[in-house]
Chains A and B, each alone.
Chain A
Amino acid sequence: MVGVHELLKVFHTGRGPVVACDRISFEVQEGRFFTLLGPSGCGKTTTLRCIAGLERPDGGEIELAGRVVYSGRSRVFVPPNRRDIGMVFQSYAIWPHMTVFDNAAFPLQAGRLRLSGPLLRRRVAQALATVRLDGLEDRPATNLSGGQQQRLALARALAREPKLLLLDEPLSNLDAKLREQMRLELRELQRRLRITTIYVTHDQVEALSMSNVVAVMSEGRIAQIGAPREIYERPASRFVADFIGSTNFLAGRVTGPAGDGLVRVETAHGPIRCLASADALPGTDVLVSVRPEDVEVVPDSGLAGNLDAWKATVEQAVFLGESLDCRLTVDGLKLRARVHPSIRLRRGDHVSVSFRPERCVAIRPGAETT
Chain B
Amino acid sequence: MAQAAPASATVFRPPRRVRLSAQQLLPVAIALLVAYLTLLPFIFLLYGSFFTPTVGGQAGVFTLQNYVRAYTDRSALPVAANSIVFAVGTMALAFAIGTMLAWITERTNTPLRGMFFAVSLIPLIIPGILFTLSWIFLLSPRIGMINQWLMGLLGLGGPPFDVYSMGGMIWVEGLHWSPIVYLLMSAAFRSMDPALEEAALMSGSSVLQTFARITLRLNVPTIIGVCLLMFLRGLETFEVPAIIGIPAGIHVFTSKIYLAVKAYPSDFGLAGAYSTNLLLLTLGGVYLYGRVTREASRYATVTGKGFRPRVIDLGPWRYLATALIIAYLSVMVALPLFVLLWNSVLPFYIKPSLQALSMLTLENYTFLFGLPKTTRALINSLVLSLGSATIVMFATSIIAWITVRTKLRGRWVLDNLASLPLIFPGIVMGVALIWVYLTLPIPIYGTIWILLVAYVTRYLPYGMRTASSSLVQIHRELEEAAEISGASWWRTFVRIVLPLLRPGLLAGWIYIVIVSIRELSSSILLWGPGAEVLSIYIFDLWNTGHPQELSALGLMMVGFLFLLALISRRLSQRYGLRHEA
Residues of A whose CB lies within 8 Å of any CB of B are: 1, 30, 52-54, 63, 65-68, 71, 74, 76-87, 89-93, 95-97, 106-107, 110-113, 140, 142-143, 153, 156-157, 159-160
Name, among A80, A83, A90, the residue most crowded by chain B CB atoms within 10 Å (CB to CB).
Answer: A80
- From A1, A74, A81, give the contact of B484 (CB < 8 A): A81
3 closest residue pairs by CB, A with B:
A111-B486, A107-B485, A93-B477
- Is A107 touching B478 in the complex (CB atoms < 8 A)? no
Contacts of A85 in B (CB 8 A): 484
Of residues 14 through 30 on chain B, the ones whose CB sits less than 8 Å from some CB of chain A are: 16, 19
Given contacts A71-B9, A80-B483, A106-B485, 15 further A-B contacts (CB under 8 A): A63-B5, A66-B3, A66-B4, A66-B5, A74-B9, A76-B12, A95-B500, A97-B578, A106-B482, A110-B482, A110-B485, A110-B486, A112-B486, A142-B580, A160-B486
15 contacts between A and B (CB under 8 A): A67-B12, A68-B8, A76-B13, A80-B480, A80-B484, A87-B481, A87-B484, A93-B475, A93-B481, A95-B496, A95-B500, A110-B487, A110-B488, A111-B485, A112-B486
- From B4, B480, B491, B579, give the contact of A96 (CB < 8 A): B579
Nearest Cβ distance between residue B233 and chain A, in whole angstroms? 34
- From B1, B477, B480, give the contact of A66 (CB < 8 A): B1
Chain A residue with Cβ nearest B4:
A66
Chain B residue with Cβ nearest A153:
B481
Nearest Cβ distance between residue A170 and chain B, in whole angstroms? 12
Nearest Cβ distance between residue B279 and chain A, in whole angstroms? 31
Does B59 lie at the interface of the complex (its beta carbon under 8 Å from any beta carbon of A)? no
Nearest Cβ distance between residue B23 and chain A, in whole angstroms? 9
- From A65, A79, A95, give the contact of B481 (CB < 8 A): A95
CA distance in complex: A53, B496 (Å): 19
- Is A67 touching B5 in the complex (CB atoms < 8 A)? yes
Nearest Cβ distance between residue A152 and chain B, in whole angstroms? 11
CA distance in complex: A81, B491 (Å): 11
- Is B487 touching A81 in the complex (CB atoms < 8 A)? yes
CA distance in complex: A1, B581 (Å): 42
Name, among A53, A78, A81, A90, the residue most crowded by chain B CB atoms within 10 Å (CB to CB).
Answer: A81
Does B499 lie at the interface of the complex (its beta carbon under 8 Å from any beta carbon of A)? yes
- Is B481 touching A30 in the complex (CB atoms < 8 A)? no
Nearest Cβ distance between residue B412 and chain A, in whole angstroms? 13
Name, among A79, A85, A86, A143, the residue most crowded by chain B CB atoms within 10 Å (CB to CB).
Answer: A79
CA distance in complex: A156, B483 (Å): 12
CA distance in complex: A71, B6 (Å): 10
Nearest Cβ distance between residue A14 and chain B, in whole angstroms? 13
Contacts of A107 in B (CB 8 A): 484-486
- Is A30 touching B19 in the complex (CB atoms < 8 A)? no
Nearest Cβ distance between residue B218 and chain A, in whole angstroms? 29
Does B2 lie at the interface of the complex (its beta carbon under 8 Å from any beta carbon of A)? yes
Nearest Cβ distance between residue B304 and chain A, in whole angstroms? 19
Contacts of A113 in B (CB 8 A): 486
Chain B residue with Cβ nearest A166:
B484
Nearest Cβ distance between residue A28 and chain B, in whole angstroms? 11
Nearest Cβ distance between residue A124 and chain B, in whole angstroms? 13
CA distance in complex: A96, B581 (Å): 9
Contacts of A65 in B (CB 8 A): 1
Chain B residue with Cβ nearest A159:
B485
- From A53, A66, A76, A97, give the contact of B2 (CB < 8 A): A66
- Is A106 touching B487 in the complex (CB atoms < 8 A)? yes
Of residues 371 through 387 on chain B, the ones whose CB sits less than 8 Å from some CB of chain A are: none
CA distance in complex: A326, B73 (Å): 89
- Is A82 touching B12 in the complex (CB atoms < 8 A)? yes
Chain A residue with Cβ nearest B575:
A97
Q: Answer whether A90 and B477 are a contact pair too, CB < 8 Å, given A81-B483, A81-B484, A160-B486.
A: yes
Contacts of A93 in B (CB 8 A): 475, 477-478, 480-481
Contacts of A143 in B (CB 8 A): 581
Of residues 492 through 510 on chain B, the ones whose CB sits less than 8 Å from some CB of chain A are: 495-496, 499-500, 502
CA distance in complex: A127, B12 (Å): 29
CA distance in complex: A317, B430 (Å): 81
Contacts of B499 in A (CB 8 A): 97
- Is A86 touching B484 in the complex (CB atoms < 8 A)? yes
Chain B contact-residue range equals 20 to 34
Nearest Cβ distance between residue B269 and chain A, in whole angstroms? 44
- Is A89 touching B500 in the complex (CB atoms < 8 A)? no
CA distance in complex: A160, B484 (Å): 11
Contacts of A81 in B (CB 8 A): 483-488
- Is B16 touching A91 in the complex (CB atoms < 8 A)? no
Contacts of A111 in B (CB 8 A): 485-488
CA distance in complex: A255, B287 (Å): 70
- Is A97 touching B480 in the complex (CB atoms < 8 A)? no
- Is B475 touching A91 in the complex (CB atoms < 8 A)? yes
Name, among B481, B482, B486, B491, the residue most crowded by chain A CB atoms within 10 Å (CB to CB).
Answer: B486
- From B2, B16, B477, give the contact of A78 (CB < 8 A): B16
Nearest Cβ distance between residue B489 and chain A, in whole angstroms? 8
- Is B491 touching A110 in the complex (CB atoms < 8 A)? yes
Contacts of A71 in B (CB 8 A): 9
Chain B residue with Cβ nearest A54:
B480
Q: Answer whether A97 and B500 are a contact pair too, CB < 8 Å, given A78-B12, A80-B484, A160-B486.
A: yes
Q: Answer whether A96 and B485 are a contact pair too, CB < 8 Å, given A66-B2, A143-B581.
A: no
Contacts of B491 in A (CB 8 A): 110
CA distance in complex: A95, B9 (Å): 32
Chain A residue with Cβ nearest B579:
A96
Nearest Cβ distance between residue B212 and chain A, in whole angstroms? 39
Contacts of B3 in A (CB 8 A): 66
Contacts of B487 in A (CB 8 A): 81, 106, 110-111
Chain B residue with Cβ nearest A1:
B1
- Is A89 touching B477 in the complex (CB atoms < 8 A)? yes
Q: Answer whether A68 and B483 are a contact pair too, CB < 8 Å, given A89-B477, A93-B477.
A: no
CA distance in complex: A113, B491 (Å): 14
CA distance in complex: A96, B495 (Å): 12
Contacts of B5 in A (CB 8 A): 63, 66-68
- Is B484 touching A52 in the complex (CB atoms < 8 A)? yes
CA distance in complex: A83, B485 (Å): 9
Chain A residue with Cβ nearest B19:
A79
Contacts of A157 in B (CB 8 A): 484
Contacts of B580 in A (CB 8 A): 142
Contacts of B12 in A (CB 8 A): 67, 76, 78, 82
CA distance in complex: A113, B486 (Å): 9
Chain A residue with Cβ nearest B483:
A80
Nearest Cβ distance between residue A105 and chain B, in whole angstroms? 10
Chain B residue with Cβ nearest A114:
B486
CA distance in complex: A67, B481 (Å): 22
Nearest Cβ distance between residue A49 and chain B, in whole angstroms? 8
Name, among A52, A67, A159, the residue most crowded by chain B CB atoms within 10 Å (CB to CB).
Answer: A67
CA distance in complex: A82, B580 (Å): 33
CA distance in complex: A112, B16 (Å): 15
- Is B483 touching A142 in the complex (CB atoms < 8 A)? no
CA distance in complex: A65, B480 (Å): 22
Per-residue interface assignment for chain B, residues 376 to 400, with 1 indicating a CB less than 8 Å from any chain A CB and 0 otherwise: 0000000000000000000000000
Contacts of B4 in A (CB 8 A): 66
Contacts of A76 in B (CB 8 A): 9, 12-13, 16
Nearest Cβ distance between residue A108 and chain B, in whole angstroms? 9
Name, among A65, A95, A156, the residue most crowded by chain B CB atoms within 10 Å (CB to CB).
Answer: A95
CA distance in complex: A339, B1 (Å): 48
CA distance in complex: A110, B4 (Å): 27
Contacts of A79 in B (CB 8 A): 16, 19, 483
Nearest Cβ distance between residue A179 and chain B, in whole angstroms? 19
- Is B481 touching A54 in the complex (CB atoms < 8 A)? no
Nearest Cβ distance between residue B411 and chain A, in whole angstroms? 14
Contacts of A80 in B (CB 8 A): 480, 483-484
Name, among B2, B8, B477, the residue most crowded by chain A CB atoms within 10 Å (CB to CB).
Answer: B477
Name, among B16, B485, B495, B580, the residue most crowded by chain A CB atoms within 10 Å (CB to CB).
Answer: B485
Contacts of A52 in B (CB 8 A): 480, 484
